[in-house]
Chain A
């Protein structure tokens, strides 16, 4: 195929990610970790709320069934 094997293309493609790498700004790791913790807490809180609602529904049904 014409132009399919451009000399050195493979090597240049392999080197590109390193050429474009950018270091993390100071403090970014801590901010990202904190955002991750908040998101995990929100997820856990939401799951606990759903579990509490389900437990309440089951309890109500049991109490009403016993009456």
Chain B
């Protein structure tokens, strides 16, 4: 049965979307779950999504929202959080420097991690990040500044004891947005 290009779109975009989601979720299984659900939603309204300028951007935004919902639900269920952190065995192929950056990213509060991933990893403009996350441009810029500072501190060879890394479950993260 003809699928109007969905299969080709999926084959091309799926690896990228999963790679981007792994930066947010920290594990492959959750990234694949969110990506697959987003692609199912795209397939269910493919005639409409295919007409968008960037169908992949629609899928990515949907997948990020799903992943964030998943992470927030998981945080409320500590047992699941432990399981989410236990799926890293397939990252063995990563360069040690990349792994260090990912580990540092995963220690950031979720709102800061989200804006950092969208802007610095995906190269999206601040305005696009603001639209995707539903906050103002100023809030995104502030989150980027704080997130970058914390990330650099976590990656610094000799981090200052005066600036301990924030717990991912900090008070700040419990607030809705960066």
Which residues of A are interface residues toward B (Cβ below 8 A)? 1-6, 9-10, 12-24, 28-30, 32-33, 35-37, 39-40, 43
Contacts and interface: CB of A to CB of B under 8 A. Distances in A.
B66 interface: no
Nearest to A23: B15
Most buried by A among B7, B40, B46, B122: B40
Given A36-B6, A36-B40, A39-B40, A22 B23 contact: no
**Interface class of chain A by DSSP:** helix
Contacts, number: 118
A32 B10 contact: yes
Contacts of B10: 24, 28-29, 32-33
20 contacts: A2-B156, A3-B149, A9-B101, A10-B120, A12-B98, A13-B121, A16-B102, A17-B16, A17-B19, A22-B22, A24-B10, A24-B11, A29-B10, A32-B10, A32-B43, A33-B3, A35-B40, A36-B39, A36-B45, A37-B44
Contacts of A30: 7
B137 interface: no
Given A5-B152, A20-B18, A29-B10, 9 more contacts: A9-B155, A12-B98, A20-B23, A20-B94, A21-B15, A21-B18, A33-B3, A37-B44, A40-B44
